[in-house]
Amino acid sequence: MGKVFESTSDLDPVAYKEAMDVFRHLGNPFRNHFARNSDDDSCGRFHVPQLYARERALLLGLIDQFRSQHASPAEVLPILGNKGAGKTHLLHSIKHGETGKSDGIHLLVTPGSYQRDTDFLEYLFFQVIDTLLGGGRHGRERPLLAIGEQVVARTLEQALSGMPPQAKIDLFPTPMLGRWLRSLGLGSQQAEERCNWISGQLSQGANWVLNPGTVVRWCGEAGIGKDKALALIVNHAAQSSGRSSHGLMRSAVIRGFTQAVLGGDESELASFLTYGFAELDFHVRPSRQDLVLSLFKALLGVLREVRVPVFVAFDQLEDLLLARRGEDVHKVAESFFAGIVQCMHQLQGIGFLLFAERGLWNRFVPSLDGYMRDRLTNPVHLPGQGTVQALRLDPPPPELVRMVVEARLKGLHSTHGCFSFLPSCFPFQPEQIDRIARTEATLRDMLQQFRQMFDAIVFGEAESSRQQAENAYISPAEISPLLPLERKGPDTPSVSSELLLNRLVIDGTSRLDKLPQEVNVRSVCELQAVEPTALTMGNHLSGAIVDLWDLEMRSAARQLHSDGAIAGATRELQAGLGLILRLVNDHGVRVGPWRLQHVVEGFDFGDHPTYGVIAIGHWTCQGGKPWRVGVGLFLGRGQGKLKDLTTKLLSLQFEPSMVDHLILLRPDDDLSLQGKSRQVWQEMEKLGHHVRIEPVGMETFKLLYALPRILATASESRSSREVASEIAGVTGDKCEAFLRQLCMPILDE
């Protein structure tokens, strides 16, 4: 079979049957026909560089322009296309690079949810630090380590260049004889040469991307210890930044990056960005909004100094804005776009990429205030590229569609060397591909047609519908070449997609007739010996939601595993907490005898941007008076622990009162209260306030982080009301113990 056939019809029956037998066992490569988010690995798996190559070049050119200009004004660029046009895939290639590594360092923030009840600047700032501190990667590196390497290299080079000759000599320890020679003015040339060498390395390093560990290696080769290099950088940052509030913030940010790169400790940067910035010695205490703005500017300034552009890319914008039923969608959209315009005026060196459906853009933007509309539609000028007002993703031409199809089929063809004779588009005919490319509106529609056509050809018309639901694509890399007809790994079970009950009763046998208000309950876990359990899978759940749930939970695990990631994601986690309460309220989920009557997803208070937010749920039991229960994340560590606690307890002191009972969710590895924290707690108890601490583990944090993204992604292809109802059922099924922790106590009869 050495001959390469040009057409499927040219194959002899034996070769055709052999190929079809293997294809049946490998599965349908068109089943996973769209990427769920910009970090989905399937984007890189079937990437075709030629697809939207011009649009990608324009976006990368805009990023490079921000990198080269020290004080670029904020810009916004819409990327418009129908659902399924390939917007998410394009964003993935910009974020991670076509080969898994970006050509240059840039911080690309891709929010998975829109917290519409939060001040937009606060929301945007916490999205940035969540991306910076989290465990997610841009290409192969975490942004914190990649950017930190550049910050350390630049600051150390400046510190060495400004040192007097004697200080350079003192950098390098010498034995007794060497010190005696230096006292005579001898032996200083070697120290000077070492300083000049490492300064030259650091200076040249500013022109390319430094791999993590490069600066440490250079310091070791020059004979400068990490502790000494760290002290040099910290002292230089403090002296060059000044004593203004902006200077103190800049110095602290540089110190945090330096500790992470040279000391391997990310907690200092995380602590400052979430707590320490609000504790600086201000001559005049700024407002909450001014505090966030000052830190945002300081952080962006440090990144601009090392030529790291910051872009915020809102993908699936229609789902972020329109996911909540019963809202005035025009009001939500106007608030969102007004927030972007406000940030464009307040911040420099930040860009916004808006990936949206054309219909949504044409529906909302023309109706905005003229000033806002002008800012959002102001064209972007790119050297060598011209003026660009918006990028439009049109359906690709047939030749590119054929390349996309061949990329999907390549894995099947390359599984066995004896299949090299197959036409590159087998089992399709070229004219079939061209016909679909010319008649379908989007790339996703084309891939769905190819999926159905593959099932009809390979599995037969009778099995086509069954295979669409059951046949999971298995990567050829997972199939042993020696066993072409044996399917490896467990089969994916067939799970019907059904709408769950809107009302789920949890622990229906438990009843609590009356809970006296004077009882101060410390912990549900203490009363019932109920501990948060690992999440379990329900067999009745929709297969699509289950797959998406598992994908986003794995993504959340990667994002939250690193030091400081949970602190950096505080506002994202709090948003997930508010969403859980809303789903429970909207869909009638009961927790024992308790039912929610009203939910405030996010209530901001006080002057601390990180800690000053809780969710409020009005729980009622058997027609009794509702309890207004506040639920907040108590995540502060070290010095931030006391500040976090005192800020949360302020929610009990409003007049008139807004919260009757306060629940604080605390990481289960640090539940004890000591010193002043314990004293503050005891004082609140003496005043008769109802407060309790509930322990939560990593599984719960993963759930809170993933849930808004699950809802936003699932709503892209289905009714948002249906999806929210189903996810409410999934949440109740998986998180019974956690839901008990969010309401008033449930006592066994």
The mean-pLDDT minimum among 29-33, 43-47, 503-507, 745-749 falls in 503-507
Compute the distance between CA of residue 642 and CA of residue 143 in angstroms, rounded to an integer.
Answer: 30
The domains found in the chain, sorted by start residue, are 8-36+396-478 (no CATH), 52-136+309-392 (3.40.50), 143-305 (no CATH), 513-741 (no CATH)
Q: Which residue has the higher pLDDT, 41 or 325?
A: 41
464 has pLDDT over 80: no
pLDDT band at 720 (very low <50, low <70, confident <90, very high): low
Q: What confidence score (pLDDT) does residue 10 get?
A: 58
What's the mean pLDDT in 459-468? 51
Compute the distance between CA of residue 107 and CA of residue 603 in angstroms, rounded to an integer.
Answer: 29
pLDDT digits (tens, 9 = 90+) for 270-287: 999 999 999 988 877 889
Q: What confidence score (pLDDT) does residue 339 get?
A: 95
Average pLDDT, the chain: 80
Per-residue H/E/C for 423-436: CCCCCCCHHHHHHH
> Which amino acid, residue 128?
V
Q: What confidence score (pLDDT) does residue 539 get?
A: 36
* Cα atoms found within 13 Å of the Cα of residue 217, Cβ hemisphere only: 8
Share of the chain above pLDDT 70, in %: 80
Q: What confidence score (pLDDT) does residue 105 get?
A: 86
What's the mean pLDDT in 17-41? 78
* Cα atoms found within 13 Å of the Cα of residue 514, Cβ hemisphere only: 2
What's the mean pLDDT in 192-202? 85
Compute the distance between CA of residue 701 and CA of residue 735 in angstroms, rounded to an integer.
Answer: 12
Q: What confidence score (pLDDT) does residue 587 get?
A: 84
The mean-pLDDT minimum among 215-229, 325-339, 453-467 falls in 453-467
pLDDT band at 163 (very low <50, low <70, confident <90, very high): confident
Locate 356 and state its tokens: 């949206």
Burial of 173 (0-12, 13-18, 19+ CB in 10 A): exposed
Q: Which residues pair with 600 in a beta bridge?
A: 616
Give the residue among 70, 50, 306, 341 at the shortest CA–CA distance from 203: 306
Locate 317 and state its tokens: 């914008």
What's the mean pLDDT in 321-338? 77
Sequence-ordered alpha helix ranges (H) in 535-592: 543-560, 565-568, 570-586
Q: What confidence score (pLDDT) does residue 501 get?
A: 23
Categorise residue 272: left if φ over 0, alpha if ψ from -120 to 50, beta otherwise. alpha
pLDDT digits (tens, 9 = 90+) for 126-140: 999 999 999 888 877
> Which amino acid, residue 120?
F
How many C-beta atoms lie closer than 10 Å to residue 203's C-beta?
A: 15
pLDDT band at 41 (very low <50, low <70, confident <90, very high): confident
What's the mean pLDDT in 572-597? 90
pLDDT digits (tens, 9 = 90+) for 609-636: 999 999 999 999 877 789 999 999 999 9
Residue with tokens 């005898």: 593
Compute the distance between CA of residue 651 and CA of residue 666 in angstroms, rounded to an integer.
Answer: 17
719 has pLDDT over 70: no
pLDDT digits (tens, 9 = 90+) for 588-615: 888 889 999 999 999 999 889 999 999 9
Three-state secondary structure call for residue 713:
helix
Strands 594-604 and 613-621: antiparallel
Give all strands of the β-sheet with 505-506 in edge-to-edge order: 505-506, 590-591, 594-604, 613-621, 627-633, 661-667, 690-696
Pick from 310-314, 326-330, 494-498 the range whose average pLDDT is largest.
310-314
Residue with tokens 């949810």: 113
Q: What confidence score (pLDDT) does residue 731 get?
A: 76
What's the mean pLDDT in 427-450? 92
